[in-house]
Chains A and B, each alone.
Chain A
């Protein structure tokens, strides 16, 4: 089946088997290897991307289901060489060690902050239910999301002319 998927503003199209996982389309067809695969059962969240603005686990979707969709992956987060506030905050707060879960963590946190601009610690911890990290003990990830929330709010205010 012929699919066209827009990833980070660029159109990728290919004839694919219906069973091709979206995660494999992103990694193998588009060559965007920042999206990782960490489990087979939709638990670990390493493969999280935004599809039409919604955080989804790209290993639990077939590429054909995303035909025509707009995707954002970790590679699409930085703009003009400037890291996204979430990326910056993960760096500043030491919110990563081996880095394997990080892209998924950042994409899911992005979804959280798009729905709740100042989440509490408990809300952040609950929001990360679908993302496993084996290195950091989560504490600095929570701090990173809190810090990014602060930065994003300030940016919005500046943009709004406050």
Chain B
């Protein structure tokens, strides 16, 4: 049957409720008798808690309960971490601090009251006596033997060491004509979904039933973790992720507040709600990045890469959130980027500091890898006086070399890197840009062109690589009226699965997308699942759903074949009907087959009634989308202010279900990646005070910061899943950051610089303009 909907730029099915203000986010959930929780948090980066006096708050009218660390620790497990690295120190924390606080914003006490205004007032009445301790926020200082220690029970702040070598790097560096080295820093970022976190919980006796509404990317994972944390039977625990207002990785984690709300609902016997404020969000929702990479690249004079050595320091913050230790290890997997790097040595040290924990933020470990390889390629090109496009081209594996085993230890599924590079250069008029650049330089104007050819690791992922499992589920039920209900474990938060899954299923069944509803985000309705992150929703969740659809199609073919007196292999799906191949006169309508399945009288012998299938899909590999971005910046020669004047992105995410949504993902990713390059940074002072604690100081990019992006794509289907899709959620973020930095460094090439650290605030560029004469 021809594709009618897959590939079509369909408007989203979820949008009418979203544009009319009728959708339900967690804060819109109101339950009778509901209480409101406010959390009291540490104002110190590092301190011993000497005393907490809650007596005034307890007595405050309207307050129902006040809890502190010891009580909660006696009843609840710690903030969970699912990742593990050999010999890693166990830096877990309790839901509320016990004895010590280790970062600004760490929860110390919680108040619940009948009204959120009352709870807020009562929180001010809790008196905490601190003994401030020296803090350490710089990971390199934290590694020194005389550094303040975060955990008295550990000998130092080094959480773990991790590393590998593939190929012989020593030999590669010995043979090299040229060795370039540079330190690259990925600054700390706040994921900052527009909807902050939020939780509502009810606890019903005598069945011990816990129902939680949470703004989460992973309802099933949260359910399991909450059941364990709160000692509630998992089969009595239900997590509902209603409308979720963005996540970007930060809503994968299981947070202290999730457990606290559940615990307090149990304790008070009333529903409890907690909605995160933006200040809390910046201080106490996971951060991303914060990694230092010392990179060396060995090359031949013709630009051929021989080997690479990376020493990485990951600043993990004060404790482990769900995947904290694992994230920086992904940097090693992707270190070679889209190049043949025959020998690679990757050594990573994870360090504890007095800051919020880091974890997966859009890209999660791969932006760091892409940034360092794409930057060092430019540093090498500069040294070898090669064009940045040519040094890249020189080192690409060719299309016939896929599947391609990398020295990072993964197998790239499929690609044509050169085609994407060529298309991007063509679209940007690269040659014309270089001519214009030369012309402007002669007039004392600084314009730069930055390239980034990236590959990334998507469709997370094989369970062997994913703590807690990398599979996903899809259930498909054809209702008696012929309507189709899809249940997906890949719970979305803006990605549009309700639309894309309907497109896929509509084509498979020969139905209309309007006949199909995709349900998600409720553990009582969806049998099992993991969630949406790591660009996995379509590639893993979509595939599970696709296989469930195939099961039903096979069953329907058996029914039709039985009634049409042929064999199932002779039956195919047409629009609204099942047809005997090559004999269009012999057919049964879709609904008639459904009728037979449920009326169960005319079924073929041995076939069960009903049309309902659930599949778990375990991917055999990741997928590896790729592309090339070209960024053009102009620098204000006096103030240093960089302005992006052109941005071209050519991305290849395999087959495309809905181009409208793919472009939307790319746009959003670009803005986040560009904002890392230019503006965003979570800043702590040396005492661990958070200096970017509100949106007055943490710069989320605005519409006027960007030109109109020019997008195009190549399509290289993935062999890893039957849909041929690769994933596109993170590509824009991963590809764009180095393109921008490369452009700015390129603009400043006349000043003889080879690198500037992010974020590229005007002042950093101004210093270069001031400090040196252009050659």
Contact = CB atoms under 8 A, between A and B. Distances in A.
**A and B in direct contact, judged by CB atoms within 8 A:** yes
Interface of A: 17, 19-20, 27, 32-41, 43-44, 46, 73-75, 77-78, 83, 87-88, 90-92, 94, 96-103, 106, 121-122, 124-126, 128-129, 131-142
Given A91-B11, A134-B193, A137-B670, A97 B496 contact: yes
B221 interface: no
Interface stretch (B22-30, B159-167, B222-230): B22-30
Contact of A39 (B246, B278, B668, B708): B278
Contacts, number: 175
A91 B245 CA distance: 17
A100 B16 CA distance: 13
Contacts of A139: 667, 706, 708-709
A140 B667 contact: yes
A91 B12 contact: yes
Interface in B667-696: 667-672, 694-696
For the residues of B in contact with A, the DSSP-based class is loop
B435 interface: no
Contacts of B106: none
Given A91-B12, A94-B12, A99-B19, 18 more contacts: A33-B27, A34-B21, A36-B194, A38-B195, A39-B694, A39-B695, A41-B696, A44-B194, A91-B15, A94-B660, A94-B663, A99-B14, A106-B19, A129-B703, A134-B193, A137-B668, A137-B732, A138-B671
Interface residues of B, number: 55
Contacts of A38: 194-196, 278
Interface in B357-387: none
B752 interface: no
B248 interface: yes
A75 to B, nearest CB: 5
Contacts of B16: 83, 91
A156 B427 CA distance: 39
B661 interface: yes
Nearest to B711: A139
Interface in B412-461: none
Given A121-B708, A129-B704, A138-B671, A33 B19 contact: no
A137 B496 contact: no
A142 B702 CA distance: 12
Contacts of B23: 99
B277 interface: yes
A74 B660 contact: no
Contacts of B19: 74, 83, 87-88, 90-91, 96, 99, 102, 106
B187 interface: no
Contacts of B670: 137
B11 A134 contact: no
A125 B703 contact: yes
B722 interface: no
A98 B703 contact: no
B705 to A, nearest CB: 8
Interface in B596-615: none
A44 B194 CA distance: 8
A151 to B, nearest CB: 14
A41 B695 contact: yes
Contacts of A87: 19-20
Nearest to B195: A100
B117 interface: yes
Question: Which 3 pairs, one residue from A and one from B, show the smallest C-beta to C-beta distance?
Answer: A34-B21, A137-B667, A100-B245
B27 A37 contact: yes
B494 interface: yes
B664 A136 contact: yes
B533 to A, nearest CB: 14
Given A90-B15, A94-B661, A139-B667, A134 B700 contact: yes
B605 to A, nearest CB: 49
A37 B193 CA distance: 12
A87 B16 CA distance: 8
Given A137-B706, A138-B671, A97 B695 contact: no
B151 to A, nearest CB: 32
A134 B663 CA distance: 15
Nearest to B493: A98
A97 B495 contact: yes
B702 A99 contact: no
Given A94-B664, A100-B194, A134-B700, A34 B20 contact: yes
B20 to A, nearest CB: 6
Contacts of A43: 694-696, 700
B484 interface: no
23 contacts: A33-B25, A35-B21, A36-B25, A36-B194, A36-B195, A39-B695, A40-B694, A41-B278, A41-B694, A41-B695, A74-B19, A92-B11, A96-B18, A98-B246, A99-B18, A99-B19, A103-B21, A126-B704, A134-B700, A135-B664, A137-B671, A140-B667, A142-B703
Contacts of B192: 134
A38 B708 CA distance: 26
B467 interface: no
B99 interface: no
A8 to B, nearest CB: 10
B696 A128 contact: no
B243 interface: yes
Interface in B237-287: 243-246, 248, 277-279
User: Which of A27, A91, A101 has the most CB atoms of chain B within a 10 A radius of its CB?
Assistant: A91
Contact of B668 (A32, A99, A129, A134): A134
A160 to B, nearest CB: 27
Contacts of B194: 36, 38, 44, 46, 98, 100-101, 132-135
Contact of A74 (B15, B21, B246, B277): B21
Contact of A98 (B494, B672, B694): B494
User: Which of B19, B25, B28, B695 has the most CB atoms of chain A within a 10 A radius of its CB?
Assistant: B19
A83 to B, nearest CB: 7
User: Which of A27, A92, A100, A103 has the most CB atoms of chain B within a 10 A radius of its CB?
Assistant: A100
B494 A97 contact: yes
Contacts of B243: 98-99
Given A39-B278, A134-B700, A137-B667, A74 B244 contact: no
A17 B118 CA distance: 11
B21 A129 contact: no
